[in-house]
Structure 1
């Protein structure tokens, strides 16, 4: 029985990294391992497409009867090794068998090495890089692509030249600039809102010269108000940090590693921006509760605002699982 994407129970268990269910299905129905989904991906493809620990991938690759899955291509020509290169996880035994063809190319004329090159460089990618390029003599092959026995014009179209790399980087920079502009606007709005909330203070200020602390917040002794101050300050700090990163990116030195540095800084700024949204919502919830603590609408308003977090978890699971 397949779902709308052509996946069977084995595919779903592998994609969710459920090792026990995967082993049980394979033991009861070994032939289902040959089944692929609508995009031509087998269970090993899907097991390596998740950012969870690659436990199921080890179960499949260690099964001697499933060795034919190691180098099987999907509809885009990608083998499990291509998907493993994209993932954010690493294990020293995953696809590190001599039976794995590390020189295979997909339909975009990319091997696993070139897939890694187009990612933000990390410690995990370095380990994968070392596993893929085991023999130094083969470095040029991994770096430059395959040799095609066709005419010169066809080679120019398919061979990844330095010019095509530069064009790709320019295209990526143009797309990143559009995203960065939107992120900068959002970060500025969050900074403005949190700054204004911190200055105005929920509940107002103490007035009159006869008070021992004139000008202090009326709700300064409320636990909810204290939580508001902390979460509001955290949101302000994170959004301001994101703005600062966007401001220093244009002055980065234009060296050979400029493209990677720029991508790295943009991703850090994006994470700061995302992380600033959660304390901003919490600041609104705690500030509202501090003011309306004795009202019967305080709890419903807090529940409505806190529904942001289940929505956030749902979107995260849809993107990553």
Structure 2
């Protein structure tokens, strides 16, 4: 893009001194279609910086730019919605009606519409405007199975969520990631207002299970959302009896609340269903340890599960033993020295992993995975710079050889390296070539990792880690080869001064060995400690 035009777009100058946007664009029919390296037209750039007057002026001259896409398949509307420039969105929608419908349906490389962009960036005013402009559009899900409705619920944007539900004739409510509904998203992020709004709109969402067999009530019980649990149970009482999990590994809402220590949710469940204290999970375990204030637990205190574990066993192996009342510990039916099927008493039993713990581990693993991916990509960006410098240096060294080239016109070796017959010259050329090749390979690995459009959703962690290791190892070989090339290059030029040449070689080699030792020393100590 012409620098004069680009600077005018960035500053929002339609007319400034000798420059006139209208004259410039009309001077040549190709002028309006100039793009930046990212494929952005002047309309994209103006939308990014929020210059609505500039956008309007450009559309008067070149309306075809309205649907022009950059390299990410984004239109100017995508850019404006992502940045939250509502005046620019108004200017883009000032075109004819059929252009408006086309704009709303265009998706980028990730399947995102402009509404996806606005909601994900938390620009509620832009999201409401987009919905009002085309209420008949269904706003389908993107490649990650996220609809604007799902993103609004997940982000807690109640106003945008309300606008979508009220304005859209047929808002898409298809299942999102992990087969979770919009109600799942609102509950998991603990957006109570959004969850209630979604329940009013479509109560049947409460029953929909995700890929792990958990519905929204189960997550609300896990997170202690008493109001949400109560609202769901008022609508449909049988929700409390629906199992969470698979056929071979399931539990219930009251067990989930009990395992998480959510006493308020337990009270809500018991208020609606006084008989749910009798419910058992897949191991025939009850929840008597959370009904200590009731007279109903007397009978249950000695009932063993399939493994022979009574509630006292489970309490002894949990984190709540110190909070157990004396009337339970000293109850005549509490057989504190009885053995289960593993021949263990309540005081030496090991805790087992239950369904709720597994769900928590899934959450923690997902967070840890996201953190690892961000760390790998951040390191790759820094290492990409280092690898690029190595490529530049080794490339330059290959064409500026030590000693220069033969320049004598009468010599048969004109243009050849002067020191090519020296012994140390061959190692210099070879190691320089190795350093260049390995650096280029590292750049290829890092570049692919950094430029991947959606590593958080589509890139496998193990694959990213493998690419990172390939790049790191290639870069280490390149750095080693660069040191050898430096040492041999100096040696070949200082051959007439053996003492100086040997000194330089020794300094280069010893320093490199010290650096490698400083890096590998902690690894060596860790292995020694493990032995």
Query: What TM-score do you get using the length of structure 2 for normalisation?
Result: 0.31
Query: Which has the bigger relative contact order, CA under 8 A and spacing at least 6?
Result: 1
* Bigger Rg over Cα: 2
Query: What TM-score do you get using the length of structure 1 for normalisation?
Result: 0.50
